[in-house]
Amino acid sequence: MTDLPIERHDIKGRDGLPIAVHVVGANTAETRDLVLIHGYFSNAFTNWIRYGHAAKLVEAGFRLILPDLRGHGESAKPHDAAAYPADALTDDNLALVEQMGLTDYDLGGYSLGARTTVRMLARGATPRRVILSGMGLRGLTQTLDNGGYYTNVLTNLGTFQRGTSEWMTEAFLKTTKGDPVALLHILKTFVDTDASTIAGFRQPTAVICGADDDSNGSAHELADLMPDSRYFEIPGNHMNAVTRKELGQAMVDFLTA
């Protein structure tokens, strides 16, 4: 569903960089704020709106706050490496919480969005509930584990055999109109979070992962590490689980339980 009313906001990220934020759903006494952060190569529209997850969550009573990460979507995509210091995405999203005046909210993300969520928690964010989707423990403790793969794709565009993983990743990049230079710089922003820090998170947490997705290590291992977490398995692998209606349903089931 793509005919939801979407309100565009702009906040100032780290160093004042313009960050686009898409707000879906009414801000009323009955609705609850939910910040959702998209994955690498993607954007808020593709991750959350295009496949119906946003519509399902709005219907369940949430106002969605959907940033485009720097280097992605409608946010700034500078080509200067200096615009991509370590933990820049975390800085931007902590700024979002502050500038939008969020005090009682839920927080989550898919893949890089889940990693950014974990970094926000590690640096003091205080959402009531947390969603980590498309993410396993290794993807948080060894964040550049897949860095070589993405560097290869971004520096060898147009050379991959049809049907290969690299070819499909490049095809996805084309659909989101990704900027290869900016996305290469994004890899330099990744910061590891140690397992003991993750084990200390007290928020009720949903770990949602495709049955065939081990791109970021074991989601079961991640769920087992946290004291108040619930594991949801949905169909699909890392690239297509985000398109499945079961993702939005698992989020609604967890947040409204």
Looking up tokens 């759903």 gives: 25
Alpha-helical (H) ranges within the chain are 44, 53-59, 88-99, 112-122, 138-141, 147-155, 165-175, 180-186, 195-199, 219-225, 245-256
- Tens digit of each residue's pLDDT (9 = 90 or more) over 147-173: 789 999 999 999 999 999 999 999 999
Three-state SS at 92: helix
User: For residue 148, what pLDDT is reported?
Assistant: 87
Query: What is the C-alpha separation between 26 and 143, in angstroms, rounded?
Result: 36
pLDDT tens digits, residue range 233-247?
A: 999 999 999 999 999
Determine the average pLDDT of the residues in 68-73: 98
Q: What is the reported pLDDT for 2? A: 57
pTM more than 0.85: yes
Long-range contacts (CB closer than 8 Å, 24 or more residues apart) made by 195-198: 195/137, 195/141, 195/225, 197/122, 198/118, 198/122, 198/137, 198/140, 198/141, 198/222, 198/225, 198/226
Residue 1: the pLDDT is 46
Query: Which residues fall within 8 angstroms of residue 126, CB to CB, at 6 or more apart?
Result: none
pLDDT reading at 178 higher than 90: yes
Whether the predicted pLDDT of 7 surpasses 90: yes
